[in-house]
Amino acid sequence: MSKRKGLYASKMKRATHMLFYRRHQKPGVKGWELRRVLGSDYPKVLEILDDYLKSLDLQVKTVFEEGKTPAGKPSLEELDKARFYITLRGELTPKEAKMIGWRIDDLAGLAVAIVYIISKKGQAPRKDVEAMLSEKLPGWKVGLNVERYIRYGYLQQDDKEQLYLDWRTLAEVDEKALTDFLLKSEAQTTLPTEGAEENLDIEEEDSETS
């Protein structure tokens, strides 16, 4: 192994330790922390680590300040302020989700809550989120589920009972893909009804002309 490869192998190992082992109340590591330990080339180290983790279906996920991804290539200053996590690269199957204690309706409720908050520009009153969830879940589960989403780091609540997306949603959820999926599902459930109504209109016209 060349001296350069040995150096990057050592840095990658240290980066792995920092990312996998939780040291703060909130998981993940800030870019400036990585720079202090690994040097200013830490983005390259993370790139190598991310490629290595592909075979394990894991990835290094970057969450920028306030969840706003830069339009172009992020600067070192933007990366220093970002937070880095190790997350799944793929998706959990329903069976895997069940094994970690999530029912399908709980996951569906979380998806609805996230998309609703996104649609309200990143924050929404808890009572409005619960009202939306009550259309999808049994009433007795709504409050319990919201507390669970908060406790697990997917949502956060301020002292005015406003809900926001928390670190885990920002790190683990592809917000655009989730929104597109729910919109597509909504369209698929409404289109058959619209088609049925059109057929009914045609049948009524035929009966009138006969």
Strand partners, 62: 84
Name which of 26-30, 90-94, 203-207 the model is least confident about.
Answer: 203-207
Q: What is the pLDDT of residue 67?
A: 67
Average pLDDT over every residue of 113-132: 94
Q: Which of 53-57, 82-86, 98-102 has the lowest mean pLDDT?
A: 98-102
Sign of CA dihedral 38, 83, 75, 9: positive
Backbone angles phi, psi at 72, to 5 degrees: -110, -155
* Interval 65-91 mean pLDDT: 86
Integer angstrom CA distances of residue 24 from 30, 60, 101, 102, 154: 11, 18, 25, 25, 17
Please give the model's pTM, rounded to 2 decimal places.
0.69
CA distance 172 to 178: 11
d(CA 121, CA 6): 46
pLDDT level of residue 61 (50, 70, 90 thresholds): very high
In terms of pLDDT, which residue wins out, 146 or 100? 146
Q: Write the CB contacts of 43 (distance below 8 Å, at least 6 apart in sequence).
A: 76, 79
Instruction: Kindly list the structural domains of the chain, giving each domain's residue range(s) and its CATH number in brackets, ordered by start.
Output: 3-90 (3.90.1150), 95-172 (1.10.10.10)
Residue with the larger pLDDT of the pair 102 and 163: 163
pLDDT surpassing 70 at residue 21: yes
Asked whether residue 60 carries a pLDDT value surpassing 70, the answer given is yes
Q: What proportion of the chain, given as a percentage, has pLDDT over 70?
A: 82
